[in-house]
Structure 1
Amino acid sequence: MCAAGRRWGRRQRAVLWAVLLAAWEAAWGQLRYSVPEEMPKGSFVGDVANDLGLQLPEIRDRGARIVSEGRTQYFSLHGKTGHLVTAERIDREQLCRLVERCVLRCELIVEGQMQVYGIEVEITDINDNAPSFREAEAELRMSEMTAAPGSRFPLPDAHDPDSGRNSLQSYELSGDEHFSLAVQAGPGGDQRPELVLAKALDREEAAFHELVLRASDGGDPARTGTARIRVTVVDVNDNAPVFSQAEYTVRVPEDVPVGSVLVTVTATDADEGLNGLVKYSLKKITENPADFPSGLDTGAITLLQSLDFEEGRLLRTGDVNDNAPEISDRDSGANGAVRCSLEKDVPFRLEKSFDDYYRVVTARELDREQVSEYKVTVRAADGGSPALQSSAVLALRVLDVNDNAPVFAEERYSARLAENNAAGALVLRVLATDADAGQNARVRYRLREGRVRGAPLSSYVSVQAETGALYALRSLDYEQVRELQLWVVAEDGGAPALSGNASVRLLIADENDNAPRVLYPPAGAGSGGAWSGVELAPRGSEAGALVAKVVAVDADAGQNAWLSYELAKATEPGLFRVGLHSGEVRTARSPLARDAARHSLVVVVKDHGRPALSATATLSVLLADSVAELLAELGGAAEAAAPGEPAGGLTRWLVLAVAAVSCLFLAFLLLLLALRLRRWRRRQLLPPAAAAALRGVPVSHFVGIDGVRAFLHSYSHDVSLTADSRKSHLRFSRDSCCDTLPARPLPDEPKPLLGDEDSAAARPSDPSAPSDLRFSMIMHVGQEMSWHSSILSSLSRM
């Protein structure tokens, strides 16, 4: 029984631990999601609220947030939806370069519940990288004799930062029949390409083999990378010299002069370099072959001694030393010992090759650009006493290699081109020189491609390949393009070609091709006799008072955009003047009573170009000192604009406004009189003590003058008077209000048109903007109301 009880107790404890572990995993378990890399910011990762059973109010109100390891936060919690979204664009290859499975971890902290939930997000790979080779070009050297078929040569391998099927999967080789591709598997599962020689090489058949190695991944679609393989076949001496004839027969008379060339033999060798260099020598057939020496390089057999037919001398072929002069000494012993030497300070030295044969070799590196030709003197001296010597001169020409890039005469070029040029106009010439010779020094020019205002640079300018002349392909406009920055590349004809660069700055010079444009007054103002935009001036203005301002601009630059203003035409000459540079229209003198009320001014705006361009602006100016005079003039203008019609809308609306204000004033006046009578009646009915108690009550507690003032203040608003909505308008100040209206003037004082002088002087004027003399529509009405207000004030003090 005891043993069974113990076993049952152990089972209960195991079940309890399993339940506790499941509850722990449920409470503290990990959320796992998967998302592809390179997703844009804000992309959906997982529904955290739904997966954890959280309500959206809990997430919003209890301070839920996402915390990630490190400084960069790759995920965030969307508070409205409870979704886990990406906070940054994630690059798997950057984060997990050496890890096969890329997992980012973060925690969801719910501060209100004091709970932490772990989240794992696996970043899956997409095929966003192509296989690439570390070197785009590789060169292999193979000997044509020692490289046997089946030989293997390692090739450069490719790298793909993607993983799985998106990583590197296969290699392909394209070329010729001499080579094939083999891929070996490395210890880590990587692939190592090898080049297999399938057929023996023959340099005389093909000295170079061009192959293309292509690496592909397993993505859909697949991405590829290529590398060029250049196989150079190294020559070996596998070909013997071959004479042009197997036998040379020469018939020579015995009296032929000494030194005559008897015959020239030629032989060729299919090898290259030293293996293809042919030298000639004589084999001994007669007793004295020295009678017929031959040149080592030329194969020319010359006669050294006279021939004697009776002695039966025959002709033989022989070799001649072409690297050093051959000096023959008939002496013997020490007198016949020959020593050869070169002059000092030359980059050459002598090497003894065989017996008395020498060859000239380079002692240091040669530079053709410094010295292109050498004349080397070879001296030969014997060992006699006194020593005898002779000399020969070798002319050596240094061949050129492409070791110098073209150099421009100037690093930076600049030129000016007037706008509106003809297409194909010559801008300038660039010049580059190359210190090399022949094809290596042949320079060609081209433009480095760029863009101007969204169009290719080559659509604006071009360069002549041979001469370096730069031409403008289109007519340029200074107002659109003010300068062009471009690069000219000079490339020589070597293999590989070398190049140099020079910058060119093309400045577009402005021409006076834009007339001034008038901004104010607007186009059409005052044209045809219609007043569209009336400038107001009081008749009491002093000399120099600002009436209006003509504003104009010019799209050109420099002096082509300098503007001057002058008054070309005026209804009353001498009344107005225009500032030469400011365009301000001011009174030249005080207006007189005999001056007309309406004036038309024509202002000419000129620039300082050659030739000068101009524009005109027409201003309509109205002189008026009172509302009646103003209305009369505007009414006359309306009747002139539309003859035969009733009074203009301006007069009609103003009359209605005055009538409405008068009616309202009478209504308030009657109401106020009724209230005063009622107050007086109560004062008669109330005892003196009660009357004394009401004396301290403010008047504003009753319906009194404060209500009228509030009405007057609210009634003052911005209004535009229009004589004809299609043609004429009159602007009034937005600052006018009953609180700022002047009091009614005394009969002997002139009526101000635009307010008192203090308020007009305190109002600042902007010299850069048009001067708008604006008239308040409610001037007259406000004055009437101010009289009404004074009457009401006197009544309220009753």
Structure 2
Amino acid sequence: RQRALLWAVLLAAWQAAWGQLRYSVPEEMPKGSVVGDVAKDLGLQLPALRDRGVRVVSEGRTQYFSLHGKTGHLVTAERIDREQLCRLVEKCVLRCELIVEGEMKFYEIEVKITDINDNAPSFKEIKRERRINEMTAPGSRFPLPVAHDPDVGRNSLQSYELSGDEHFSLAVQAGPGGDQRPELVLAKALDREEAAFHELVLRAMDGGDPARTGTARIRVTVLDANDNAPVFSQAEYTVRVPEDVPVGSLLVTVTATDADEGLNGHVKYNFHSISDRASELFSLDSETGEITLKDNLDFEEMSLHELEVQAHDGGELSDETKVSITVIDVNDNAPELTVSSSLSEISEDSPSGTVVALLHVQDRDSGANGEVRCSLDRDVPFRLQSSHGNYYSVVTARELDREQVPEYNVTVRAADGGSPALRSSAVLSLRVLDVNDNAPVFSQERYSARVAENNAAGALVLRVRATDADWGQNARVRYRLSEGRLFTLDPRTGDVKVTGPLDYEERKYYEASVEGKDGGGLTAHAKVHIDIIDVNDNAPTI
């Protein structure tokens, strides 16, 4: 037992290392039941689960599982009925993905739904009348109703019992698929004058503990001789139909003939062995043998239906034939394109190859109809990169430049290989964040002005102007002047003003350097030249 537990732990660790976990859980468990310890099996700490944006995504529209944020356990989100969910397959497996948005990672999870014995065997007909000629030889066999049990394994149908009288016994034969077919065996010759009717009970039992049972009552009516049984024209009928064939269409006609006359030669048809789903899809005309469609076919649900048709005459002699209906796929499913995770903004200096979105694509069709090709617009700096299975990553193809394109709406397109192809698309909206990659630029390399002497303090001399192609704080320019004694420079507006009166006779011009610096520390420089204009403010002296 300890060795088996060790192997299970090693297997879970190996699978987790390769991005896949497998668990099993019985059906009909209450909502919130623990399936497995995902955090432990993936080596994730509980605080990291909340910080990294971990969530569980199930295939299809119904979410059968969720992640418990406090414990890291994978739990059931709904009560799961294996027979309803996987009625056409014996092995019932649900798949989902664990998406770690903060790390752009995902892990595949497979959960096997195990069966419990919650269904008893049942007969479609709980009462069946059998008409047998009194001349029928002992040892003759007659098909009996077949019981169905949607459970699997030991919980499914295991055996039959027959109770009644000494004239009949039970034999069980194996059908083409390995299923059990009960047969009524005539053990003792019949005498209609002695007994015109025989009442029997057929019991079907499963292998559960305790076992469940279902019963059908068989009434045998003893008739006079009928020495010819119906004979089908073919031992097997095969037909191929596209899945979009209209409801009500005639699919195939089975034909049997009987050499007898009158009631003993009148042939009627019925389904002898048919699955629950096939009984919902096909109808059989008991008089003509025409098999018609009464519900829409779906290749993705089931591509082959096998039916057994019985022809019986008025004396209850019969023959059986097999009808195989192959469903041909048509391109009736468009690709399903899902954005599993995506960024809403990215810095313009992000390196080429940065992942901005994780996509999942699938198509329920088969062959070329299910082969999906994904593409992006040609004029965007992004490319698609195959990730794993049906996952794709959208990555940057080159460095971005916010000053050229500040925002992208990237359309991802998916098209299948059908003719005509079916398509779907998704739009990724991405805002480019600014980095300080542009220095300020002055409108002039050299600014000049002329000012009359004896001017008033605070007079505006000139205005310098620098622009920055960046955004926000990176684009805000502040100014500084090297000459700070006679002139001032407003650091926000770039206005150069005098601090007091100037004197031409003292100095005829001034030169200074002005600096513009953005919010990220990048700078630019320009020259300022100011000429002083002489006015007649001095009288002649002798």
TM-score interval for Structure 1 and Structure 2 normalised by the shorter chain: 0.3 to 0.5
Task: Select the structure of larger CA radius of gyration.
Answer: 1
Q: Which has the higher strand share?
A: 2
Q: Which has the higher helix share?
A: 1
TM-score normalised over the length of structure 1: 0.30
